[in-house]
Structures are given as C-alpha cells and as structure tokens.
Structure 1
Amino acid sequence: MLTIAGLALAGASPAAAQLTKFSPNDKAFAYTTKSNTLVSVWQQKSGYSHADYYRKASSGTQRHLWNKSGVNTTVTSGSGSALFKMRVCEWVKDNDDICSGWDTE
C-alpha cells in the first residue's frame, strides 16, 4: 500500500499530505494538501467512498467529500480553513459505511 500512496501523492508539495488515511478494505485513500486546506479522495477499487472531515474555522461542523467517479479517480474539495480531523469511508448500500479511524492534526 505504501507504493500506491506514494503514487497518489507524487504531485503534492513536500509539506503536504499531513493527514492521510486508507479505508479499511483499501478501496480508497484520503489525504490533505496545501497546508491541510484541501482534502482529496482517491478511489483505487470499485465502489463509492467519502472523506469526513472538520475544518478549524467551523470545528463543530462535519463535512463530507464523496468520490463516486470510479476506479483510479480523485476528487478534491474546495479550499477553506485548515482541516484538523479526517477519516475515509467505504459506502455500504443500506447499511453503515465502513470507516477508518480518525487522523488528527
């Protein structure tokens, strides 16, 4: 998995990717860039996935970034205040999603 993560982050700046998580079944990978102001979700196996995250400016609001675009696609959030907490989840139809633990700053 480390090789795959390195490929996903190849375009990131050296100080980027401070928060990173693989989903429990390695279907998706979420990471931050631009000093934690952007979050991206890379779908590496079939299915849907999402990152749940919190930003410093609205610390009580959980946000979600979905990737429903297919295998080997990446979606990226708009910029905002820095993220301080993030996890990545695999969507499970008609059931609770399977999520990683939280990565915190």
Structure 2
Amino acid sequence: MHNVLKGFLLTIQSKDNYTAAHSYRVAHFSIELANLFGLKPLKLKALKTSALLHDLGKLAVPDSVLNKKSSLTDSEFDLIKKHPRIGVRGSILKLKFENHKLNHKKFTW
C-alpha cells in the first residue's frame, strides 16, 4: 500500500508542483494540530495519508485548466470544483477499504 500512495504522490508532484507542495503543507499542519489534540498514532497515519491525497482528483483536471494563468471560465471553474468528488471516487479509497477488510479478517479469526 505504501508504494501505491508514494506513486500517487509522485504523480501529483509531476503534474503540478504547487498542488504537491500544498498537500505537504496541509499534512504538516494537520499532524501538528492532531498532536495538540492527542490523536493516537494509527489515526495520525491515516490523517497524514488523507491530507497528502486530499487533492488527488486534480489529476483528472487538464493541465491547461490547472495551470491557467488567466481567469478561469465558468466551465473551467466548475471542473476545478469537481476535483474532490473525483478524488473520492478514485481507486485509492477502494484499495484502502479492501486492505482494511483483509486486515480485519486476519484479526477476527
């Protein structure tokens, strides 16, 4: 699973450095806040993964829209606004769920 996550992060970085840097900042500040609230280590790991991948759906946004220097058209902005839903539907969540089910079955025997 770690290699899959790393692959997604590298793909995000290769597509858009700004988004990658933003994701690392979000992860850093999320962990800092979670530590202040005493979140358990396993939850911290999930939080960090979620923060790093929160913009995964931007991979589906064309570079011409994502990196546009001028103002976005209404349709381009609508496309940008869809990136969270696109990311949630991505295979990473399915893989994570399947991995969780397999691990859970190991411990319930």
Relative to total residues, which structure has the larger strand share, 1 or 2?
1
Q: Larger Rg: 1 or 2?
A: 2
Relative to total residues, which structure has the larger helix share, 1 or 2?
2
TM-score (norm 2): 0.28
